[in-house]
Amino acid sequence: MEKGYIKADKAQKTNIRGVFAAGDITNNPLKQIITACGEGAIAAYSAYNDLMRKSK
């Protein structure tokens, strides 16, 4: 947590392996629905890639 928000990197990864965050709960200063949608897409893509690496 950072000032009440979940800290996520540019791939929307948190400090917990396999946990991703997006939107208004993150530390991103832009709190708009379109930003949340874009971050959601990034988080989904990052989670997919993480799962694919684990399955190999």
> How many domains does the structure of the chain reveal?
1
Task: Tell which wins on pLDDT, 5 or 30.
Answer: 5
Mean pLDDT of 8-14: 90
Q: Which amino acid is at 11?
A: A
- Inform me whether the pLDDT recorded for 10 exceeds 90: no
Residue range of the domain that includes 41: 1-56
**Cβ of 28: how many Cβ atoms within 10 Å?**
20
CB 39 within 8 A of CB 32: no
pLDDT (tens digit per residue) in 22-44: 888 887 776 677 778 888 999 99
- pTM of the predicted structure, to 2 decimals: 0.57
Q: Give the whole-angstrom CA distance, residue 46 versus residue 48.
A: 5
